[in-house]
A = this chain, B = another copy of it.
Amino acid sequence: MKSVSCLPYVRATLLVAALAFGTSPLAQTDPLPSWNDGAAKKAIVEFVHSTTTQGSPKFVPPAERIATFDQDGTLWVEHPIYAQVMYCLDRVPAIVKAKPELAKIEPFKTVMSGNREAIAKLSEADLLKIVAATLTGMSVEEFQAEVKKWVAEAKDPRWKRPYTELTYLPMQEVLKYLRANGYKTFIVTGGGQDFVRVYSEAVYGIPPEQVVGTAGGTKYGYDKTGKPFLTKEPKLLLNDDKAGKPEGIHLMIGRRPLAAFGNSDGDQQMLEYTKAGDGARLALLVLHDDAKREYAYGPANGLPATKVGAFTQALHDQARKQDWVVISMKNDWKRVFAFE
């Protein structure tokens, strides 16, 4: 009789566990299968559990569950060069074809030469000229069509795959896990807002209106037939990097995130702003320490400094001091990419 009398208890336990993790017993399966057991995975699961379990002292109503993610280096590969910079460089021939006089002017001349070494040495001011020429002066629909085409065709030189396949599987799992628990997931990127919005829904399940990024102005006008359209202007509205990230979050979302994920000093302010809120807060940094499966870079942990993704020693110290979670790509991730 003992086993029979235990049944209601076992059933209740299963039910409680199921409710804690989602809506059905199926949800009891590991929501983060590409993560190794460790402090990072534990922190994420405990945070979600404590903020979404009714009666928990850290419970947060669904409407307030906001999580923000940097993109480059946090959700997908940023090394050795941001995908969006590749887009801009790839667009230069078409720009020069439309305006042949640019072929003789720097930095377009260098880009047209195809000299990779010289291109890699272009200054930030040069890159800004290329950005202005390739990202503005067209209608928003024309821009979206160009990016869509590029995203479908361009390939990363190392993996010979579309950039959109170079998203980190463990982070895709975190996005889905948070959404399954009532969180609204946002991208908060230093990259171009209009650029990322073209593929964010297909690649991350994040709709355009939940992408905050560096944004330029647009100008409303009419074509010859009287049809209204918006032209992308070379006017910076939001530089969504460093202090610009919490400022952009306030502008575009209007409330402080509960959880924020980043990987560089461009994310410092977003993470400290998130952690400074009341109640349960989670701040995480992806450390690129896996030269074999991805890359190892960043001044922290003695890794080389690079143009992208500065995970500085100061950032590392702040993470320890303020109880941020550092995710070691090498140790915390069982798999890095879905195609592996």
Contacts and interface: CB of A to CB of B under 8 A. Distances in A.
Interface of A: 63, 66, 140, 184, 193-194, 197, 201, 207-211, 215, 217-220, 227-230, 237-238, 243, 246-247, 250-255, 269, 272-273, 276
A220 B246 CA distance: 7
Contacts of A237: 237-238, 251
B228 A273 contact: yes
A230 B230 CA distance: 31
Given A194-B254, A254-B209, A269-B228, A247 B276 contact: no
Contacts of A230: 246-247, 250
* 4 tightest Cβ-Cβ pairs between the two chains A and B: A208-B254, A220-B243, A209-B253, A197-B254
A247 B247 CA distance: 19
B273 A220 contact: yes
Contacts of A238: 237
A201 B63 contact: yes
B254 A193 contact: yes
A250 B140 contact: yes
A269 B220 contact: yes
Contact of A208 (B207, B229, B243, B255): B255
Q: How many copies does the complex hold?
A: 2
A208 B276 contact: no
B227 A276 contact: yes
Contacts of A269: 220, 228
Contact of A253 (B208, B215, B219, B276): B208
B251 A215 contact: yes
A225 to B, nearest CB: 10
A238 to B, nearest CB: 8
6 contacts: A66-B209, A193-B254, A209-B252, A218-B250, A220-B243, A220-B269
Counting chain B CB atoms within 10 Å of each CB, the highest count among A218, A219, A250, A276 belongs to: A250
Contacts of A218: 247, 250-251
Given A228-B276, A273-B220, A273-B228, A211 B250 contact: no
A247 B219 contact: yes
Contacts of A197: 254
A12 to B, nearest CB: 30
A55 B273 CA distance: 47
A227 B274 CA distance: 11
Contacts of A219: 243, 247
A246 B228 contact: yes
B63 A254 contact: no
A98 to B, nearest CB: 24
A194 B250 CA distance: 9
A243 B233 CA distance: 14
A259 to B, nearest CB: 16
A218 B269 CA distance: 14
